[in-house]
Amino acid sequence: MSAQILDGKATAAAIKSDLTVRVAALKEKGVTPGLGTVLVGDDPASQKYVAGKHRDCAQVGIASIQRELPATATQEEIEAVVRELNEDPSCTGYIVQLPLPRGIDENRVLELMDPAKDADGLHPTNLGRLVLNEPAPLPCTPNGVISLLRAHGVEIKGAEVVVVGRGVTIGRTMPLLLTRRSENATVTQCHTGTRDLSAHLRNADIIVAAAGVPHLIKPEDVKPGAAVLDVGVSRNAEGKILGDVHPDVAEVAAWISPNPGGVGPMTRAQLLVNVVEAAERAAAAL
């Protein structure tokens, strides 16, 4: 058996095609959505992700606002850019690309953002709204995982889902999205303190692997017929991506997301969804 592909590139392309129509409608009403990005330092992966976000913006007609600071930027300098984007009327929503350089208090930067312009759904107010089941921009990677499963008809309702990892961009919020009534999954969150990871994995209908440990998930850990989403990104000496999922898992799973080409493009597409939804709210208030 070889798993079917959860094709993030194709699914993201379909989402972007829908957004192109919505952006055109907004422009007719005199509203041009604008995505801002704050990139600090010269991490090649972060540079690539931010460049991808602006390429996507160009494709759907969203304006791009790019702010770049050197790796030596101080907390105050970064916060000044955040304040500037909070005030900039051309910026509908923005993100601060994570991680920030060592020594910078990431939480303080995120808390300074205007929650109404938080395109990542990572501001404490928006995370609180998510917990309270109130409308909020949803964190992009977890929302991308759910869209990818839905687009391929993978049953989430009632599924036993194991999320591996507890980082802020996915692990922390993935269970919150999966346990909403609209998804109704049962979730087990595993992390470095989990005693017997394999035992949990073998019971899972869906595995979301976001540990950042190359090839952590082995074929013998996976229940035949499971859906496996590879979100982890490590790189070898040549810069090639190594996911959290061993390639041989494809022989056991029914569904697998490639990496690259799976959850990454979905993360970017969901970011644009958050920006367009914020612009639609603004247009409705005109």
Ligand X SMILES: Nc1nc2c(c(=O)[nH]1)N[C@@H](CN(C=O)c1ccc(C(=O)N[C@@H](CCC(=O)O)C(=O)O)cc1)CN2
**Binding site for NADP(+): which residues?**
165-167, 233
Give catalytic status of residue 105 as yes or no.
Answer: no
Catalytic residue among 7, 56, 120, 221, which? 120
- Torsion sign, CA atoms 62, 138, 190, 97: positive
Which letter does DSSP use for residue 221 in this model? G
Give catalytic status of residue 29 as yes or no.
Answer: no
Nearer to ligand X, 126 or 200 (CB): 126
Catalytic residue among 97, 205, 244, 270, which? 97
- Nearest-approach distance from CB 276 to ligand X, in angstroms: 17
Q: Where are the beta strands (DSSP E) in the chain?
A: 4-5, 34-40, 63-69, 93-96, 160-164, 186-190, 206-209, 227-230, 234-235, 241-242, 255-256
- Nearest-approach distance from CB 278 to ligand X, in angstroms: 16
Report the SS3 class of residue 76: helix
Nearer to ligand X, 95 or 163 (CB): 95
User: Which residues ranging from 167 to 186 are in contact with ligand X (CB under 6 A)?
Assistant: 169
Which residue is closest to ligand X by CB? 264
Catalytic residue among 7, 16, 53, 244, which? 53
- Torsion sign, CA atoms 267, 178, 262, 60: negative
135 burial type by CB count under 10 A (0-12 exposed, 13-18 middle, 19+ buried):
exposed
- Nearest-approach distance from CB 258 to ligand X, in angstroms: 8
Number of residues located near ligand X, criterion CB under 6 A:
20
Binding segment for ligand X (CB under 6 A), chosen from 21-29, 129-137, 149-157, 253-261, is 253-261
C-alpha angle 116-121-123 in degrees, rounded to nearest 5: 70
User: Pick from 95, 206, 210, 278: which binds ligand X (CB under 6 A)?
Assistant: 95
Which residues have CB under 8 Å from 7's CB, separation 6+?
152, 258, 261, 262
Retrieve residue 104's tokens: 């910078």
**Mask: binding to ligand X, 29-58, rule CB under 6 A, as x and -?**
----------------x--xx--x------
Retrieve residue 272's tokens: 């644009």
Q: What is the dihedral of CA 33, 35, 36, 37, to 10 degrees?
A: 180
Nearer to ligand X, 159 or 263 (CB): 263
User: Which residues ranging from 134 to 153 are in contact with ligand X (CB under 6 A)?
Assistant: 140-141
What's the chain's Rg over C-alpha atoms?
Answer: 19
Give catalytic status of residue 53 as yes or no.
Answer: yes
214 is a contact residue toward ligand X (CB under 6 A): no
273 φ/ψ angles, rounded to the nearest 5 degrees: -60, -45
**Where in the sequence numbering do the catalytic residues fall?**
53, 97, 120
**Contacting positions for ligand X (CB under 6 A):** 45, 48-49, 52, 95-98, 120, 140-141, 169, 241, 259-261, 264-265, 267-268
